[in-house]
Amino acid sequence: MTTTIPKDDIAVGAATPARRASMRLGNRNLIVAGLVVVAFIVPLFVTSFVTFQLTEVLIYGLAILGLNLLTGFNGQFSLGHSAFYGIGAYTAAILIHNYEVSYLWTLPAAGVVCFVIGFLFGLPALRLQNLYLALATFALATAMPQILKFHALEGWTGGVQGLVVDQPEAPSFLPISDDQWLYYFTLIVVLVMFLCAESLIHSRTGRAIMAIRDNPIAAAAMGINNSLYKTLTFGMSALYTGIAGALGALAIAYVAPDSFTIFLSISLLVGLIIGGNGSIPGCLFGGLFVLYVPNIANALSTGLAGAIYGVILLLVIFVMPAGAAGFVRLATARLSRRQA
């Protein structure tokens, strides 16, 4: 398990540690605020297709954040997050298509459904050690498309055909297109979810979650209820990925069983590893990667996206084991050392 190095360990310089830390914190907030402002004005300058792609980046980033809560902070593996993404997407689609619920309500519904399913699947699965959990979730991801096609559920899920979802329309008082509205809606949801994740990780609960990752026995000795926290983290992780799935269904306006195969899980895992295991901002970088790299790969040669993913994965674990976030951390450490 990669443990994140506290930033203060890297600081070497003339300023007092406290001052440097506050400066760095200030810098960081400034950068984040700047990025958020950029994120808000970008759609005004790009085509609606790029806006749509950026929406997808945000959605993948959110799904990867869900996986990261589980893998990066709690140290458990899942190859089954495509299933939770799919369940979230289908929850939204079924609510809109069959029950004509407003799209705003589909997100909390998808979150709750995925939390419950994740929690229930977590109950037996979390008694399993690393590899066995990977195996059980691998089986879940492989079985999911078949469950969605199952003909007894066809009345709900639309079977092999899938479901068409009405795309949300921009409120009439705002002078923006539907694509832009979808982007802003997604952006706000994602920002709120990222803030929640950030504060969760820095809370007492977050420390318990990380303690279990670093040393389960010591954590138990400190009075942490390991299995409860692990199951809750699994549910929470499923909730994040499920909400991402619901947003995905709204954005693409269509769900079909074969969109949620094991290869989606592999994409999310790629995003996690590339963005940096255990880094919250890294998730968005992972989202960028997951969306754009297959496009580039397709430009090189159609159909080889999977192979290029694989090669990149191997390169990353051989060359850049801590992902992009680790790489940035290392680079800033080098740079600040040079300045000092």
Partner 1 sequence: MELLLQQVMAGLANGAIYACMALAIVMIFQAIDHLNFAQGEMAMFATFIAWQLMQWGLPYWGAFVISVALSFVAGVLIDRVLFRPVQKAPILSQLVAFIALFSILNSSAGQIWDYTIKSFPTPFGHHPLFGGTLIDTHEAGMIGVTALLLALLYVFFRGTRLGLAMRAAAANPESARLVGIRVGWMTALGWGMAAAIGTVAGILVAPVVFLEPNMMLGVLLYGFAGAVLGGLSSPGGAVLGGFAVGVMENLAGTFIPYVGQELKLTLALVMITVVLMFRPSGLFGRSVVSRV
State the Cα–Cα distance between residues 121 and 309, nearest whole angstrom.
Answer: 29
327 binds partner 1 (CB under 8 A): no
The sign of the CA dihedral 245, 248, 249, 250 is: positive
Task: Return the amino acid letter for 275.
Answer: G
139 binds partner 1 (CB under 8 A): yes
266 binds partner 1 (CB under 8 A): yes
HSE at residue 238, side-chain half, CA atoms within 13 A, is 28
149 binds partner 1 (CB under 8 A): yes
Q: Shortest distance, CB of residue 56 to partner 1, whole angstroms?
A: 20
Binding mask 173-192 for partner 1 (x = CB under 8 A): --------------------
Binding mask 61-80 for partner 1 (x = CB under 8 A): ----------x-----x-x-
Query: What share of residues in the chain are helix, strand, coil (percent, to 5)?
Result: 75, 0, 20
Closest CA to 110 of 87, 133, 128: 87
State the Cα–Cα distance between residues 105 and 325, nearest whole angstrom.
Answer: 34
| One residue of 305, 325, 326, 329 binding partner 1 per CB under 8 A | 305
105 binds partner 1 (CB under 8 A): no
| One residue of 318, 319, 338, 339 binding partner 1 per CB under 8 A | 318
| One residue of 101, 134, 164, 176 binding partner 1 per CB under 8 A | 134
Do residues 256 and 149 lie in contact, with contact meaning Cβ atoms separated by under 8 Å? no
222 binds partner 1 (CB under 8 A): no
Q: Shortest distance, CB of residue 210 to partner 1, whole angstroms?
A: 15
217 binds partner 1 (CB under 8 A): yes
140 binds partner 1 (CB under 8 A): yes
State the Cα–Cα distance between residues 233 and 215, nearest whole angstrom.
Answer: 16
277 binds partner 1 (CB under 8 A): yes
State the Cα–Cα distance between residues 176 and 206, nearest whole angstrom.
Answer: 39
Q: How many distinct helices (H) and strands (E) make up the chain?
A: 14, 2
Residue numbers 1-40 binding partner 1 by CB under 8 A: 1-2
310 binds partner 1 (CB under 8 A): yes
The sign of the CA dihedral 76, 81, 87, 92 is: positive
Q: What is the dihedral of CA 99, 104, 106, 108, to 10 degrees?
A: -140
Where do contacts with partner 1 occur on this chain (CB under 8 A)?
A: 1-2, 71, 77, 79, 124-125, 127-128, 130-132, 134-136, 138-140, 142-143, 146-147, 149-152, 217, 262-263, 266, 269, 273, 277, 301, 303-311, 313-314, 316-318, 321
